[in-house]
Structure formats: C-alpha cells, structure tokens
Structure 1
Amino acid sequence: MQVAWLTLVWLLLWGELTVGNVLGGLLAGLVVVWLLPLPVLDSGLRIHPIGLLVFLGRFAVDMLVSSFRVAFWALRPGAPPVQIVEVRLRSSSEVMAVLITVALSALPGSLVLEAHVRERQLVLHVLGITGDARAVTEADVARLENRILAAFGTRADQEELR
C-alpha cells in the first residue's frame, strides 16, 4: 500500500501519466520502502460496527441536547450555572482517554480543562447543569466512555470495565 501511495506522489510530481513514469514511481516506491521501512504500530483501536453506530447515534443526540441547553442558558437573562468537575475515567488506555477527551470537548457546554491520563482523571468545565453537577457529569462521562469502548476498544479495554 505504501508503494502505491509513493507511486501516486511520484506521478503527481512528474505531472504526466506515462508507462515510464508509472514504472519509475513503482521502482522508487519499492526502493524507499525497502531502504526505509516503517515500524509496525498498533494504535490499540478496533472498530466494532454495531458499537460505532450506537456511539454515533447517541453522540448526535447528545450534541443536539447540549446545543439546546447552551442556547437556553445563552438566551436566558442572568448567569448560567457553571461548574468545574473532576471525573475519574475507568479505562486505563491512553488511546481511549484521548477519544473520550475529544468527544467531551466536541459537545457544546463542556470543555476538558485538564487531562491526567496516568491518574485517569479529567477536569471538566460544564455549563447549564443544575443540581448535583458532579453526579450528573460522572454518569454522563461513564455512559460516553462505555459507548466509546464498545465502538473502538480492544477486548482488554472492554473487560477492564466489567
């Protein structure tokens, strides 16, 4: 696959599609891949189609609800309820922690202020949650974490939460 991409780049650099350019690109690609091999990296991500569909559907609903919550507090006179909440993640995977952090930051009304991956802790700024913001936020993050692990986690990630 790397050879194909390198051949495509070669052809784009030469600017014309000829048999000689294709063969030259293939040869250059093979030499580069042979002389400079890339290490095999395992990101730890596994895509589970059913879990991914559930995550995407629920994330779209969360985006909609969060958007309405922020709009409500923005249009309402007075200061909205704002809290800083520390939440502990249950998964120890760094990749999963990054995905959870990105998903939380993408939701309107929540922002990850600090992420302590080794301690499995996130510090969140949440907007518009009345009552016990800590309990509500912890429950929301736990549900999001479960959906992300169901969509992208390895077996070890998923078993860690059981």
Structure 2
Amino acid sequence: MRTGVRRTVSRLAMAGWLFAVWLLLWGRADALVLAGGAVAVTAVYALTRLPAVPTIMRIRPLRLAEAAVEFAWDLLLSSLVIAWHALYRPRGVRGAVVEVDARTRSEIVLLAVTTSISLRPGTILVDLDWDRHVLYIHAMPVRSQRQADSARDGVLRTEHRLMRALVTSEDAAEQDVSTREDR
C-alpha cells in the first residue's frame, strides 16, 4: 500500500475511533450528537497533531483465535504458579528484570505484546525502548538463569503468535527482506 493511502486510512481509522468514543460518552446517537461529534473530531485534527495509527494489512482469524486460546492457557498457568508461591512460599519468591529483543517492527504488534504480558500474573512491562525494540519485563518467580530464559521465551512466543495473527506492513517488509537474504 502506498504511503499516501496508508496515511489516509490511518487518519480515517483514528477519526472513526474518536467519533465512536464521542458517541459512547454521550450514550445516544441523535442528530445533534452526531453533528457535535463530527465538529469535535474535525477540531481535534485541526488543533492537534495526532499520531498515525499503524495499519494492519491482514488479520488471520484462525491464528488470532489460536493466540487467544494460548493467552488464556498462559493466564491460567501463570495464575496458578503465582497463587502457589503466594500461599506456600511467599518469602521465597524472587523476581528479575529480563531484557527481551523483539523481532517485530510494528508498533501495534509490540503494543499487543506488552499488553498481553502485562495482563498475565507474574510479568509486567518495566520499560520499552521503541527505537531498539527492546522490552524490559519484570518476571517472577525467577531464581535462576533457566527461569529468566523461560520468561524471555514466553514473551517471544506471545510475540510470534501475534505476528502470525496480525500481519502488518512493517513486519511484512521485514519478512520480505529476510526471505530475499536467505536465497
């Protein structure tokens, strides 16, 4: 998709999102609310410099469903591990900050990954270096290098699932370059 078309689609998506929030805030959709929403969205665009919304080229529904099921499974397992440590070994729980080099170059996939790992008990995003695509997560329980590597691998698996489910232009371009280099 050309840059101009991508930018237009991105702006329309952001305008649609702002308009939907406007309607939700008012709780009704009469002519005055609709007209006010159009004026408000136009004013927001005229007065501010909103960021571009990254576009998703393709959503793979089966991969997305698979990612959701695996996320639910990860959520269940991590909840059980944290509950067990909280009940039976509360003083023995150790945590660590783990550095994870993200493979994705898409901001929207990176956002989905950070949200996913922060929702899971036992892991939370501490810092994110957007320029280098490096995540720093606090994971627990971590008592050894093997457990730290396991936490890193869990984040990378989540990223891989989401990259397969949400195909973005940034990741598609990156995959095209890596495929050409492999030949």
TM-score normalised per structure 1: 0.72
Change in Cα spacing, 1:42 to 1:82, as seen in structure 2 (3 Å) is: closer
Q: CA offset at residue 134 of structure 1?
A: 2.9
Deviation of the 1:36 alpha carbon: 6.8
Counterpart contact for 2:99–2:135, Cα < 8 Å:
yes
Where in structure 1 do 4 or more consecutive aligned residues deviate above 4 Å? 35-39
Unpaired runs of at least 5, structure 1: none
Q: 1:158 to 1:79 in 2, by over 3 A?
A: farther
Deviations 1:112-137 (A, max 9, x none): 11111111111111112443133212
* 2:55 paired residue number: 44
The separation in 2 between residues aligned to 1:25 and 1:83, in whole angstroms, is: 50
**Structure with larger Rg:** 1
Q: CA deviation at 1:70?
A: 0.4
CA 1:79 to 1:106, structure 2 compared with 1: closer, same or farther past 3 Å?
same
Identity of aligned residues (%): 26
Give the aligned residue type for 1:106: L
The code of the aligned residue for 1:44 comes to T
Go from structure 1 to structure 2 and tell me whether the alpha carbon gap of 1:79 and 1:158 turns closer, same or farther (over 3 Å shift): farther
Letter in 1 for 2:55: G
Question: Is the contact between residue 55 and residue 169 of structure 2 (CA under 8 Å) also seen in structure 1?
Answer: no
Counterpart check, 1:106 vs 2:156: no
- Give the Cα–Cα distance (whole angstroms) in 1 for the partners of residues 112 and 33 of structure 2: 37
**Distance in 2 of aligned mates of 1:53 and 1:145:** 15
Letter in 1 for 2:66: V
Q: Distance in 1 between matches of 2:153 and 2:83?
A: 23
Query: Do structure 1's residue 69 and structure 2's residue 81 form an aligned pair?
Result: yes
Matched, 1:146 2:141: no
Give the alignment's Cα RMSD to 1 decimal.
Answer: 3.6
- Report the structure, 1 or 2, having the larger helix content: 2
Which whole-Å CA distance do the structure 1 matches of 2:173 and 2:148 have between them? 26
From 94, 100, 106, the counterpart of 1:81: 94
Q: Is contact 1:87-1:138 (8 Å) kept?
A: yes
Amino acid at match of 2:128: A
Give the superposition deviation at 1:150: 1.4
Aligned residue in 2 for 1:157: 171
- Match of 1:112, SS state, is strand
Residue 37 of structure 1, CA deviation? 10
Q: Structure 1 residues 82 and 37, CA, compared in 2 at 3 Å: closer, same or farther?
A: closer
Alpha carbons 1:149, 1:158 under 8 Å: kept: no
Report the TM-score when normalising by structure 2: 0.65
Provide closer, same or farther for how the CA distance between residues 79 and 49 of structure 1 changes in structure 2, counting only shifts above 3 A.
same
Q: Distance in 1 between matches of 2:109 and 2:97?
A: 22
| Residue 58 of structure 1, aligned match among 59, 70, 73 | 70
Q: How many pairs are equivalent?
A: 149
Q: Is the 8 A contact 1:110 1:126 kept in 2?
A: yes
Distance in 1 between residues matched to 2:169 and 2:97, nearest whole Å: 33
